[in-house]
Copies of this chain bind each other. A is one copy, B any other.
Amino acid sequence: MTRISLDQAQTIVSGALAEARALKLKPISVAVLDAGGHLIAFAREDGSSNLRPQIATAKASGALALGVSSRTIGEMAVERPTFITAAAGLNPAGIVPAAGGVLVRGSDGAVIGAVGVTGDTSDNDELAALAGIKAAGLSA
């Protein structure tokens, strides 16, 4: 397993921000975590509200916590709300059950980290996350 480098993480952040500006999204925040769930790089655009760092981190951390994207966690939350609420309480960074948290995989397919984006609709947040991962030459 390879760890995401700071260079790669900063490329993911700048790629996600560029996509957000290209799509004219509301101000977004982007968090990149390593496979252990620990923050490597983060940026919050001007005009973002206060809780965006925690939401971006929780989207990515939740994806790593359960091994699926936060979009899938959102679907699980509809079917089994008490399970996701319980799991969120167990994860120090929490879990946000909405799209925008995406696992990052290395060339061998192993999970090497995760990206979390928040600020616009969940679907748009996810587009920015995917653009960031692509900009770094990594796979979602």
Residues of chain A in range 86-108 having any CB-CB distance to chain B below 8 Å: 86-92, 94-98
Any B CB within 8 A of the CB of A38? yes
Closest chain-B Cβ to A86's Cβ sits at a distance in Å of: 5
The contact of A53 among B2, B9, B39, B66, by CB within 8 Å, is B39
Give Cα A65–Cα B41 distance, bound, in whole angstroms: 17
B58 touches A36 (CB 8 A): no
Q: How many residues of A contact B (CB 8 A)?
A: 55
B36 touches A6 (CB 8 A): no
Q: Which residue of chain B is the closest to A8 with respect to CB atoms? A: B46
Interface hub of A41, A81, A90 (most chain B Cβ within 10 A):
A90
Give Cα A38–Cα B136 distance, bound, in whole angstroms: 27
B40 touches A41 (CB 8 A): no
Give Cα A45–Cα B74 distance, bound, in whole angstroms: 25
A54 touches B96 (CB 8 A): no
12 A-B pairs (CB sep. < 8 Å): A10-B43, A35-B35, A36-B37, A38-B50, A38-B52, A48-B67, A49-B67, A81-B82, A82-B85, A83-B96, A85-B88, A89-B94
